Amino acid sequence: MNLYIRRAFQIGLLVAMLLITSPSLYAQTDPEAVDDEALLQTANSAVVIPVLDNDLPDSSAWNPSTVRIIDPTDFVTQLTKYVEPDQGIWEVNTTGGSISFTPCTGNGTPDPECTSALSIKDPFAIDYVVQDTNGTLSNPAIVTVTYADPPLSASLGYFFSSLTGDMTTFVWVMEIESNTKGFNLFSEVDGELTLINNQLIVATGGNTFIPQRYEYATQVEGEQFYLYEISLSDSTASINGPFDLGVSYGEDPLNEGGEDYRIFLPFINAPAQ
C-alpha cells in the first residue's frame, strides 16, 4: 500500500470511528414539551388541547399516561385534575395525553369544587409535564386558553359596564332599533339570572337607523351581565351576553364625533331583586 492510500485509509478509519462513537452535535438530547394555545374559543365552551402533538420526544415516544398538570398552588405537585373554583376544570386524558378545560357555570357545576361561573374572560394558564417511554421527564410547558367575545346582535353596537364605589353603570349603543320596545338588564350569580332594572328600560328610538346611546346605574351583585332587547310586537327577547364587568364589547360609534345622541336614564339607587 503506498503512502497516499495508507494515509487516506487512516483518515477514513478515523472519520468512521468518530461517526460511530461521537453523538451528533445536532441531536436532541432531552424530550421537549412545547407551549400550547387554544385561542378565541367560543364563549363558555369546553376545550380539548392535544398537548403532545407539537412536543418533541427524544429517541423514545411519549407515554400519554404520564401527562401531568403542575399544581399552580405549589408548582411541585403533579395532578391529573385541577379545579380553579371561580374559573373551571383542567383535566388530563391519560389515554390520549390531551388536556381539557371546562368552564365553571355556577356553584357546584359542572364540578363540586366550582364556586361560581367563570369570573374572568380567560382562565389562568397552567403548566404540564410528560415522560417518554424511558421515563425521562420533559420540561414544563404552558397551556393557554382564551375565549372570543360573545357576538353582538346586528342592532347592538357597543356594551360596557363599570363599577364606581358600590354603583355599577351600564352603557350600550344601539346601531339601529327595529320594532324595539325596550331593554332589560340581568346579572348572573351562581348560574342564576337576576333582573337588574325595576321596570322596562323604554327604547327611545323604537324604529330608527340613528344610533341610540343608553346609560343605567344601580347597585347590583355579580360581574357578568346580559342585555335583553324586547320586541314591541310580541315581547320576545334578543339576548346579548354574557358581558364581563369592566370589559368593552364592540365599538362606540358616538365617540367618533358628530351629533351626540346620548340618552340619560333615570338614576335608580336600588339593590338587585
Tell me whether domains 36-147 and 156-264 share a fold.
yes
pLDDT at 152: 62
Write the single-letter amino acid at 42.
T
Look up residue 45 and give its three cell numbers.
365552551
Q: Per CATH, which fold does 156-264 belong to?
A: Immunoglobulin-like (2.60.40)
What does the domain layout of the chain look like in residue ranges?
A: 36-147, 156-264
Asked if 58 and 136 count as a contact pair (C-beta separation under 8 A), the reply is: yes
The CATH number of 36-147 is: 2.60.40.10
CB contact burial 47-71 (16+ within 10 A = b; e otherwise)? bebebbeebebbeeebbbebbbbbe
Task: Kindly give the confidence (pLDDT) of every residue in the chain, 273 residues in length, as a single tens digit, with 9 standing for 90 and above.
Answer: 544 444 444 444 444 433 444 444 444 568 999 999 999 898 889 999 999 999 999 889 999 999 999 999 999 999 999 999 989 999 999 999 999 999 998 788 899 999 877 767 799 999 999 999 999 999 999 999 998 876 666 688 899 999 999 999 999 999 888 888 899 999 998 888 999 998 999 998 878 888 899 999 999 999 999 999 998 877 788 889 899 999 999 888 777 543 443 333 333 333 333
